[in-house]
Amino acid sequence: MEPLLVATVTLITLTALPYLGFLGLYAWIRPTGSPAAKAPQEPSVSVVLPTYNEASIVAGKLEGIDAWDYPAENLEIVVVDSSEDATPDIVREYFEDRDSPTLELIEEEERRGLAPALNDAYAAASNDVVVKTDCDSEVAPDALREAVANLADDDVAAVTGRNAEVLGGSDVETGYRDIQARVQTLESHLDSTLIFHGPFSAFETDAIVPIDPDSLADDTELALRIRRNGGRALFDPAIRYKEAAHSAFRKRRTQKDRRGLGLIRLLIQHRDMVGAYGRYGRVVLPFNWWFMIVSPWLLATTLVLGTVAAVLTLGLTGLVLPLAVLAFVLAGTRDALGPFQPLYALFDTQISLFRASIELVRGDYDNTWEVDTDLREAYE
Ligand code: GDP
Ligand code: MN
């Protein structure tokens, strides 16, 4: 049992080391805001809105875009729709007696998944900048101004924003988003960030390239490809949006596992970028490899090994370890951990990434997922 105990402690230390390194880097750099040389500008913008059966919320979404602090004459809305419900009719009706913004409605014959739909929408976008926004999200009125100010920096070709308020009141998601915002701010100051968020991602139209039609991490993939081609891809916390999320363990898994799987697959597909492409390939990608691919397995192994070691040393009393983890999860999903809630949020993400890597190996995924109607209620 001695060796088992040593192995457990070694594993915990090993798992934690890169995180401590990143924490040290954060303390050293103390990054705040966007690293871009921001400057006000008003380029023409195409707002890409993908929709699949969003009849209950799409009108509200369009009203939200109308409330953006931006000249409507400079805006075009590109809706790419694959619905079986009344979504396209509602969209057409909304624009019937409006001169601006203008509407470009792409109606798909059948649902092929989000990535191919986005590829078509980006090809149809005719303005200087493209903003992609999910139907189930609320974007702050000044977000677009903040975004184009980032793109005024010649080095910057893509920018995403922060989930400033989690609708539905999930503390699990809030805790995770706060940590993620810090990580992404640091990544941006080092070079570029990896993850781009569905509710708001902006790209220079010239920089857009097609993404893998099977992609389950569409916004992140586009940003990564743009970084590959030399443009910086940044996270700016001044770009704010709201998105709904669950706290309940099971409800969280569906969406988080799929998103995790998309990210893991993307990292593996673009593994050649590790070690190249400046600090993006030398620091940002390796850190994300650790967080998304390596550390979930190390944690799982540690848990099993630790339990075996504890039971061998302490007998049945050793079962307190797995029971403690279970209690941690139960309290965490109930948003009842107080100051430790963010720690649970990280653990929750590791669970999804672990499950996602298994689903990926088993080939157990599909790019036409069931849109979460529970979450849509927050926008109705
Ligand atoms: P999640 O936030 O990752 O759970 O993804 P959602 O289910 O909320 O989808 C994100 C956005 O893409 C929403 O605006 C959906 O309506 C839209 N969407 C999802 N699947 C498709 C699709 O197959 N085709 C099109 N055109 N849009 C889709
Ligand atoms: Mn969504």
Residue-by-residue pLDDT tens, the chain, 380 positions: 588 889 888 999 999 999 999 999 999 999 999 999 999 999 999 999 999 999 999 999 999 999 999 999 999 999 999 999 999 999 999 999 999 999 999 999 999 999 999 999 999 999 999 999 999 999 999 999 999 999 999 999 999 999 999 998 888 888 899 999 999 999 999 999 999 999 999 999 999 999 999 999 999 999 999 999 999 999 999 999 999 999 888 999 999 999 999 999 999 999 999 999 999 999 999 999 999 999 999 999 999 999 998 899 889 998 988 899 999 999 998 989 988 888 999 999 999 999 999 999 999 888 899 999 999 999 98
Distance from C-alpha of 233 to C-alpha of 221, rounded to nearest angstrom: 11
Using the atom order of ligand 1, give the atom closest to the CA of residue 117.
26
Pocket test residue of 105, 122, 134, 251 for ligand 1, highest count of atoms within 8 A of CB: 134
Ligand 1 atom 5, closest CA: 371
Which ligand lies nearest to the CA atom of residue 58 in the structure? 1
Q: Count how many residues are written for the chain.
A: 380
**Residue 52 CA, ligand 1 centroid: distance in Å:** 6
Q: Provide φ and ψ at 220, rounded to 5°.
A: -65, -40
**Residue 372 CA, ligand 2 centroid: distance in Å:** 8
CB 133 within 8 A of CB 48: yes
Ligand 1 atom 24, closest CA: 114
Provide the number of structural domains found in the chain.
Answer: 1
Structure tokens at 128: 């200087």
Which ligand lies nearest to the CA atom of residue 51 in the structure? 1
Structure tokens at 192: 């570029």
Which ligand lies nearest to the CA atom of residue 244 in the structure? 2
Q: Which domain holds residue 62?
A: 1-380
CB 75 within 8 A of CB 95: no
Q: What angle, 0 to 180 degrees and rounded to 10, lies between the N-to-C axes of helices 295-314 and 341-362?
A: 110
Using the atom order of ligand 1, give the atom closest to the CA of residue 259.
3
**Residue 5 CA, ligand 1 centroid: distance in Å:** 46
Phi-psi group of 153: left, alpha or beta (phi > 0 → left; psi -120 to 50 → alpha; rest → beta): beta
Distance from C-alpha of 169 to C-alpha of 373, rounded to nearest angstrom: 17
**Residue 134 CA, ligand 2 centroid: distance in Å:** 6
Q: Of 131, 334, 179, give the one whose Cα is nearest residue 247.
A: 334
Distance from C-alpha of 189 to C-alpha of 104, rounded to nearest angstrom: 36
Beta strands in the chain (DSSP E): 45-51, 75-81, 102-107, 129-132, 138-139, 156-167, 201-204, 232-244
Pocket test residue of 114, 133, 252, 352 for ligand 1, highest count of atoms within 8 A of CB: 114
CATH number at residue 184: 3.90.550.10
Dihedral sign of CA atoms 337, 343, 349, 353 in order? negative
Angle at alpha carbon of residue 195, lines to 110 and 165, rounded to 5°: 90
Distance from C-alpha of 44 to C-alpha of 51, rounded to nearest angstrom: 22
Distance from C-alpha of 165 to C-alpha of 252, rounded to nearest angstrom: 17
pTM: 0.96
Ligand 1 atom 23, closest CA: 113
Helix (H) or strand (E) holding 361: helix 341-362
CB 219 within 8 A of CB 197: yes
Show the ligand 1 pocket: residues with CB < 6 angstroms.
50-52, 54, 80-82, 111, 113-114, 117, 134-136, 198, 255, 259, 368, 371-372
